[in-house]
Structure 1
Amino acid sequence: MNLTVYLAGEIHTSWRDDIKKLAKEKDLPFTFVGPMEDHERSDYIGEEILGEQPSKIFTDDAASAINNIRTQVLLSKSDVVIALFGEQYKQWNTAMDASAALTLNKPLILVRPEKLHHPLKELSRKANVTVTDIQQAVNVLAYILE
């Protein structure tokens, strides 16, 4: 059985590649999708498609509309969502994606270091499972197929 896994979280580190590598090592039949990882393209996709915008606010709004539709489609087609909260970057998009997954009734694996337990306690209680690292998240995925 092939599952589609949406990888929600910051786009500045290689955590997605690490998850894909761990899944491949376990020979897990997963297709991974997620947000646009090219930050520059994500920020300017609105202007790329709709043309130059009159101000930065309009540039952000145009990009957000297109990024949001991409996220909505990929999340809705996913079987499982992994939302990673790291310590280094702001996590607004991760929180939004995790909340959208819950709204769509998608199984949610929340990855967060123990240090972030308190600020994420409500979201953690809503997730199907909360783990502290990506290895544990991959182990949960593997268990699904046992």
Structure 2
Amino acid sequence: MLTVYLAGQIHDDWRKQFKEKASALELPLTFVGPMENHDRSDNIGEEILGKQPNPVLKDEAASKFNNLRTQVLLNKSDVVIALFGEKYKQWNSAMDAATAIALQKPLILIRPESLHHPLKEISEKAQVTVETMDQALQALAYIFEDN
């Protein structure tokens, strides 16, 4: 059983799709990742610490708890998959990928060819760079193949 951290955008259902495809392949995987409920992620600092005096401090408080979650779950993971797409700015994906690299976690980077240049440094540090979720799943499936 491998624990896979799914890093990347939280504004679409790519994680759900990835988990469904992994389940169909019957891969022995457990998934963890960032808080996918955007409102909860944005408000967790105030939920724990109370109302903050301004939006900057609200964001800073939330980021502390989101960073805690990320650090714990990245440390728990066996492999990290970071998805970068065309539609959203992915600062969190870049941070998670950089953290995975710093923690020496195996990294599978999913990005379209059009993002080759802006992600070239992360791609060089990743164990594998692919363009689709299916390719990332094939990479994971290969880990479990018998000789």
Could you state the TM-score of these two structures normalised by the residue count of structure 2? 0.98
User: How many residues of Structure 1 are paired with residues of Structure 2 in the alignment?
Assistant: 145
Per-residue CA deviation, residues 8-32 of structure 1 (Å, 9 max, x unaligned), is: 0000111101110111111001000
Aligned AA (1:28): L
Superposed, 1:1-146 pairs within 5 Å as: 2-146=1-145
**RMSD of aligned residue pairs (Cα, Å):** 0.5
Per-residue CA deviation, residues 46-83 of structure 1 (Å, 9 max, x unaligned), is: 00011000000110000000000000000000000000
| Alpha-carbon separation, structure 2, partners of 1:19 and 1:140 | 13
| Alpha-carbon separation, structure 2, partners of 1:118 and 1:100 | 20
| Alpha-carbon separation, structure 2, partners of 1:60 and 1:141 | 35
Secondary structure of 2:108 counterpart: strand
Tell me by how many angstroms 1:122 deviates: 1.1
| Alpha-carbon separation, structure 1, partners of 2:106 and 2:144 | 14
Aligned AA (2:143): I
Aligned AA (1:133): T
Per-residue CA deviation, residues 79-120 of structure 1 (Å, 9 max, x unaligned), is: 000000000000100000000000000000000000101111
Percent of aligned pairs with the same amino acid: 67
Give structure 1 regions of 4+ aligned residues with deviation exceeding 3 angstroms.
none
Aligned AA (1:36): M
